[in-house]
Amino acid sequence: MTDKVDLKNLTLDELAGFLAGLGKERFRAGQIFRWIYQRGVVDFAAMTDLAKALREELAARSFISDWLPEAVEESRDGTRKYLFRLADGQTVETVRIPMEAGRATLCISTQVGCAMQCSFCLTGSFGLTRNLTAAEIVNQVCAAARDGAVNNIVLMGMGEPLHNLDNVVRALQILYAAEGFDYGPRKVTLSTSGLVPEMAELGRRIRVNLAVSLNATTDAVRDQLMPVNRRYPLAQLLAACRDFPLQPRQRITFEYILIRGVNDSLADAKRLVKLLHGIKAKVNLIPYNEHEGSALRAPTPEAIDVFQGYLLSRDLVAIRRASKGQDISAACGQLKGKLERLQAKLPPPGNPGE
Ligand code: SAH
Ligand code: SF4
């Protein structure tokens, strides 16, 4: 392989440092960022405001990775799932979710697989293959942005972002650069299963909206659903949430997957209100997305209504989230399921004889 530097792995500061090593001025880094992220140019020869000698030197020492999806699937509701093949043959998935008024949210992955082994999550059942590089995180946005505007970004695809903190922070710095995509930190949300020390480190290192996958109101249930809870139980997790730096009017999002008979009772709703007391919180209620390989079941519509109604009655902002893109396996926790099934030649759901 090449020992050339992939410029998409570098923050603006790092690129300026790289250029300083070549004896070049700092503002050249901004020029290159504009070419790469604002104009989508990855060929040095086209960067006409750089001297030819510099372009040639850059081409000799560096390259700019760029992705085209290997496959794109579009759901009936307009959700689009991109499959990207990485240089080492691994794959990741990225999902574009259409929002109101022609806007779109992009759900990006941070790892190939995930080590956290949540029992409800298909991604988790495959284990961790490897971390994505900053360039591989950013390239999901570059490729999707070519396909239409991306207004918001959520780090809620495959992987646990805080288990790949260095590359995730670097990717956010690249996405935030004014000379590049110029995303404001309020446009980006990072979701974690609750790695407590890394939550504090994240808060120290960079601004981003925080979402926490809570999913249970007792340690006994959360231990079963999310093994990470045995390391960082609820009291520690909620203390980390209380300590997380927030801007005025900013809240932490708590994601709560409702699973029939497991965590969807009125008693759970009551405990949830108590747990979140004093935290600037909003709750996303996500009906469990059923998939093969798991005996867990979606809640009844009545249970969802009762649960949400109780939270609202206690002035807790509680939004019911429809899982979009279910017909193309693009919904929460389904990423990579279909592909792995093909590779493993496992029978598809509902066709055990095949
Ligand atoms: N690892 C991080 C980042 C997102 S994980 C985290 O756990 O927060 C993928 C998201 O899909 C999480 O919000 C998770 O709660 C959700 N999810 C996983 N399996 C699901 C399922 N079967 N039904 C509904 N949501 C699911
Ligand atoms: Fe990993 Fe998040 Fe899935 Fe848990 S829910 S296994 S942390 S991707």
Q: How far is the CA of 51 from the centre of ligand 1 (A)?
A: 48
What's the burial of 166, exposed, middle or buried (CB within 10 Å: 0-12/13-18/19+)?
exposed
Q: How far apart are CA 30 and CA 13, in angstroms?
A: 10
Listed in sequence order, the DSSP H helices in 80-195 are 134-145, 165-176
Residue 257 CB contacts under 8 Å (≥ 6 apart), including other chains? 120, 213, 215, 263, 286, 287, 288, 332
Report whether pLDDT(102) > 90: no
From the CA of 227, the nearest ligand is 2
Active-site residue (options: 114, 118, 241, 332): 332
How many Å apart are CA 123 and CA 337, to the nearest integer? 7
Residue nearest to atom 4 of ligand 2 (CA): 118
- SS3 for 33? helix
Range 70-91 average pLDDT? 92
273, 265, 276: which is closest to 306 by C-alpha?
A: 265
Residue in 323, 253, 256 with CA at minimum distance from that of residue 290: 323
Instruction: State the average pLDDT over residues 163-169.
Output: 98
Q: What's the pLDDT at 265?
A: 98
pLDDT band at 162 (very low <50, low <70, confident <90, very high): very high
The residue nearest atom 25 of ligand 1, judged by CA position, is 332
pLDDT for 328: 67
Which residues form ligand 2's pocket by a CB distance below 6 Å?
Answer: 114, 116-118, 121, 123-124, 159-160, 193, 213, 333
Q: 190 C-alpha vs ligand 2 centroid, how far in Å?
A: 13
Kindly give the distance from the C-alpha atom of residue 159 to the centroid of ligand 2, in angstroms, as a whole number: 6
pLDDT attached to residue 336: 63
Q: How far apart are CA 235 and CA 21, in angstroms?
A: 48
Q: Which residue has the tokens 């949300």?
A: 189
Q: How far apart are CA 124 and CA 128, in angstroms?
A: 8
**pLDDT score at 8:** 98
Report the distance separating Cα 272 and Cα 261, nearest Å. Answer: 16
Helix residue ranges, H only, the chain: 12-21, 27-33, 52-61, 134-145, 165-176, 196-205, 219-225, 228-231, 234-243, 266-275, 301-313, 337-344
| CA–CA–CA angle 246, 199, 325 (5° rounding) | 85
Residue 77's pLDDT is what? 87
Is residue 299 packed enough to be buried (19+ CB in 10 Å), middle (13-18) or exposed (0-12)? Answer: buried
DSSP single-letter state for residue 180: T
Among protein residues, the one whose CA lies closest to atom 20 of ligand 1: 333
What percentage of residues in the chain have a pLDDT greater than 70?
A: 91
* β-bridge partners, 253: 211, 282
pLDDT digit string, tens, across residues 16-40: 999 999 999 999 999 999 999 999 9
Tokens for 330, please give them: 């693009």
**Ligand 1 lined by 237 (C-beta under 6 Å):** no
pLDDT at residue 58 greater than cutoff 60: yes
Q: What pLDDT is attached to residue 24?
A: 96
Query: Ligand 2, closest atom to CA 115?
Result: 1
Confidence of residue 333 (pLDDT cuts 50, 70, 90): low
What pLDDT was estimated at residue 123?
81
Strands 71-74 and 80-85 come out as: antiparallel
Q: Which of 73, 93, 160, 255 is catalytic?
A: 93
What is the model's pLDDT at position 346? 43
Q: Which atom of ligand 2 is nearest to the CA of 191?
A: 2
Cα of 47 vs centre of ligand 1, distance in Å, is: 41
Residue 23: per-residue pLDDT: 95
Q: What is the mean pLDDT of residues 3-9?
A: 96
C-alpha–C-alpha distance, residues 141 and 137, integer Å:
7
Read off the tokens for 55: 């372009």
Tens digit of pLDDT for each residue in 314-324?
A: 999 999 987 66
Find out whether 111 and 160 touch, Cβ atoms under 8 Å: yes
Q: How far is the CA of 241 from the centre of ligand 2 (A)?
A: 19
332 is catalytic: yes
Phi (first) and psi of residue 220, to 5 degrees: -60, -45
Q: Please report which ligand is nearest the Cα atom of 125.
A: 2
As a whole-number percent, the residues of the chain with pLDDT over 90 amount to: 84
Q: Specify the pLDDT at position 126.
A: 81
- For 124-145, write each residue's pLDDT tens digit: 788 999 999 999 999 999 999 9
Calculate the average pLDDT of the chain.
92
* Residue 176's pLDDT band (cuts 50, 70, 90): very high
How far from 162 is each of 166, 169, 237, CA to CA, in Å? Answer: 8, 9, 14
Considering every ligand atom shown, identify the ligand nearest to the alpha carbon of residue 332 and give its number. 1
